[in-house]
Amino acid sequence: MGKGDKKTKRGKIVNGTYGKRRPSNKHKRKKQERAKVAMEAS
Task: Check residue 28 and give its pLDDT.
Answer: 67
| Burial track 14-29 (b if 16+ CB lie within 10 A, e otherwise) | eeeeeeeeeeeeeeee
Residues 6+ apart with CB under 8 A from 34: none
Q: Report the alpha-carbon distance of residue 40 to residue 42 in Å, rounded.
A: 6
Tens of pLDDT, residue by residue over 2-34, are: 888 888 989 999 998 988 888 887 666 677 777
